[in-house]
Amino acid sequence: MSGRVDGWRWAGRVFLVLILLFTAVPMVWMLLTSIKSQFAAMQYPPQWWPKEPTLENYTKLLDPTNPVGNDFLRYMWNSFYVSLATTVLGVAVAVPAAYAFSRFRFPGRTFLFFAVLLRNMFPAVVFLMPLFILMRWLGLVGTHGSLILTYLTFGLPLSIWLLKGFYDNIPIQLEQAARIDGATRFQAFLLIVMPLSVPGILATSIFSFIGAWNEYVYAATFLNRQDQLTLPVGIQRFFAEFATDWPGLMAATFLMSVPVVVLFLILQRYFVRALTEGAVKS
Amino acid sequence: MAKVTLENVVKTYGPVTAVGDVSFTVQDGEFVALVGPSGCGKTTTLNLIAGLIPISGGNIRIGDKLVNDLDPKDRDIAMVFQNYALYPNKTVAKNLAFPLQMRRLPKDEIARKVAEAARVLDITHLLERKPRELSGGQQQRVALGRALVRDPRAFLMDEPLSNLDAKLRVQMRTELKRFHQDLKATIIYVTHDQLEAVTMADKMAVMNGGTLQQYDSPKNVFDHPVNTFVASFVGSPAMSLVPLRRVVEGDAVALAGDGWQMPLSPANARKALSAKSDTVILGARHSTIALHDGPREGAVPGRVYTVEPTGDVTFVQVHVDGAIVIASLAPDVAVRSDTNVWLGFDQSRMHLFDCETQMALT
């Protein structure tokens, strides 16, 4: 009996280790390649551990006087700008929307709430052409505005859903108490509800930031000027020109994933809380 | 402090009437309990007085001021919630200070009033803690403190004791009563526990199905319930109610069951005659029923169903004509289940209700 239980347990462990290798090995290989020289990276059989580790690829990318670094830093800034604008605007819209869905009963509430999710039922690519035509009509093709608007339509539904769950879990009596204690409805929201929903707002912010940071298809379609490109598109086009500088490419992708990983590490406890909020009665 | 007046107050949600035509006046300094079963509209009524939900009809006055359209913040009332609604991210001191900050009192006055409220409620040592670090009873005191820190015109309390354990509830009940006496505060107190209402309140408003059934002192509600609902809701164990046939022979009126008759006293006979139909509901509290082990003049036969000793009194449930009648005995008297007994009703303290209207016959 116990032997069989142990068998399952070991099978589970082996499975988990395989999954871990599957996800971790490419990242480790990326990191190792990024500190090799161009020559070492192409060697066969491969150098499993770089014989002469170098940070040259990184210094090149982060040096604004170098043309490669200049472009890379510009792409990074573009990505940062677009992602941040998406996040800030998204939160500014999602917070009041989620609060309204959570607290008010108004005609069409249920319909609207599910309509918000409608977009998420289709693959993003389906909307590529319609949105492109719409953006051209709005005169936004070739601007960061087109991307920010598009990313907002992707990120908002999820943000509103997550935040609504958060507000649902804040007892309405807290606001009622505040209003009786002399606060207006808006003050009750600002002074009592907002501080309590900070974890939820942080979690949804990460969601929309990462979504915007990683997006490729729309960025590749809507932007055409070299100096406007965001990182995912920039890295791909940029390195295609120089044949394949694998160590440089790996260094660039590593730098691109740093903000996401850092955000996750710092805010993961809020993140988990947001996703499980309301799952178990406290 | 001020008096609070409700005039024909109505609250509807679409076709649903949550509160229908409720009127009563809470005098300055009075402790009024709103009681009734779940969903009877008592909490809705309290929220209407607080201004947390808009009124559909009628008038609410606090003092002489019509407050129908005033925001909660402009009604100058304080409220204690069932879940206490303490601000979880603020310390106890900041919880207490919040209503004063909202009213823009000077800092030194806020500090003075917070210290005073904390002293009165004996929570000075908790001032720097967060609500989640407090026990239920301590949270309760802080909630009370936040209400009394700013001399409101009336206190509204929504089941403030129901989240406490039984022992603490009894203790806080005493303290709340003392608090009312010391402050001469106008208190409107919602509870589903009729015992809390009876023990603490000057008056109780018994509600059912969104309407006010009776508004009177606990003693009068207990002694003279206006209908069968109030009769069965107030008092523990509940008043026994037995529907019986009215038999009139000349001047004599009696209530008849299966194979027995109970002649009525002249006063009760007059009441019974005013009933609209021939069925009259007999109501009697356990303390007014005598239990005999043999037939007596005017006693009603029944069969013992269960015996419940509670220590200082033993309750005996007796089957009478398909209904259950609860009588009480001294604990040293032995009664066994499934034996025949005879019940003697005290005619001067029994109640008669009309079976059609369920109203008390007078």
CATH for B123: 3.40.50.300
Range of the domain at B9: 4-233
- The pLDDT value recorded for residue A282 is 38
Section B4-21 average pLDDT = 93
Helix, strand and coil percent figures for chain B, each rounded to 5: 30, 35, 35
On whether any CB of chain A is under 8 Å from the CB of B221, the answer is no
Query: In this predicted structure, which of A16-20, A157-161, A174-178, B282-286 has the lowest mean pLDDT?
Result: A157-161
ipTM here: 0.84
Which of B47, B62, B73 is the mutation pick for testing A, counting most A CBs within 10 A?
B73
Residues B33, B55 within the same domain:
yes
Question: Which of residues B233, B256, B290 is at a domain's end?
Answer: B233
Section B265-280 average pLDDT = 92
Residues B150, B278 within the same domain:
no
Residue B362 is assigned to a structural domain of this protein: no
CA–CA gap between residue B95 and residue B131 (Å, rounded)? 9
Residues B24, B125 within the same domain:
yes
Residue B361 is assigned to a structural domain of this protein: no
**Cβ–Cβ of A182/B83 closer than 8 Å?**
no
The percentage of chain B sitting over the pLDDT mark of 90, rounded to a whole number, equals 77
Residues B181, B201 within the same domain:
yes
**Amino acid letter at A126?**
V
Residues B134, B188 within the same domain:
yes
Q: Across the interface, which of A173, A183, A195 has its CB nearest the CB of B85?
A: A173
Residues in B closer than 8 angstroms to A173, CB to CB, are 81-83, 85
The CA distance from A224 to the nearest CA of chain B, in Å, is 49
Residue B322 is assigned to a structural domain of this protein: yes
Residue B181 is assigned to a structural domain of this protein: yes
Residues A131-145: pLDDT tens digits?
A: 899 999 998 888 999
Residues B132, B34 within the same domain:
yes
**Cβ–Cβ of B52/A180 closer than 8 Å?**
yes
A203 DSSP 8-state letter? H
3-state secondary structure at position A108: coil
**Cβ–Cβ of A174/B85 closer than 8 Å?**
yes
Res. A260: pLDDT tops 90:
no
**Cβ–Cβ of A177/B85 closer than 8 Å?**
yes
Count other C-beta atoms under 10 Å from residue A20's C-beta: 10
Q: Which CATH number is A60-276 given? A: 1.10.3720.10
Listed residue (A179, A190, A187) closest to B77, CA to CA: A179
Residue B89 is assigned to a structural domain of this protein: yes
Query: In this predicted structure, which of A229-243, B218-232, B238-252, B270-284 has the lowest mean pLDDT?
Result: A229-243
Residues B290-338: pLDDT tens digits?
A: 999 889 888 999 999 999 999 899 999 999 988 999 999 988 888 889 9
Residue B360 is assigned to a structural domain of this protein: no
Helix A246-276 vs helix A198-214: crossing angle, to nearest 10? 150
- Residue B330: CB partners within 8 Å, gap ≥ 6? B313, B314
Res. A65: pLDDT tops 80:
yes
The percentage of chain B sitting over the pLDDT mark of 70, rounded to a whole number, equals 100
Q: Name the pLDDT band for A241 (thresholds 50, 70, 90).
A: low
- The pLDDT value recorded for residue B62 is 95
Residues B31-86: pLDDT tens digits?
A: 999 999 998 999 999 999 999 999 999 999 999 999 999 999 999 999 999 989 99
CA–CA gap between residue A191 and residue B314 (Å, rounded)? 55
Residues B165-200: pLDDT tens digits?
A: 888 888 889 988 988 998 889 999 999 999 999 999
Residues B287, B313 within the same domain:
yes
**Cβ–Cβ of A180/B146 closer than 8 Å?**
no
Question: Which of residues B191, B213, B233 is at a domain's end?
Answer: B233
Residues B196, B254 within the same domain:
no
- The pLDDT value recorded for residue B44 is 95
Residues B229, B265 within the same domain:
no
Residue B359 is assigned to a structural domain of this protein: no
Res. A281: pLDDT tops 50:
no
Number of domains in chain B: 2
Give residue limits of the domains in chain A: 60-276
3-state secondary structure at position A264: helix
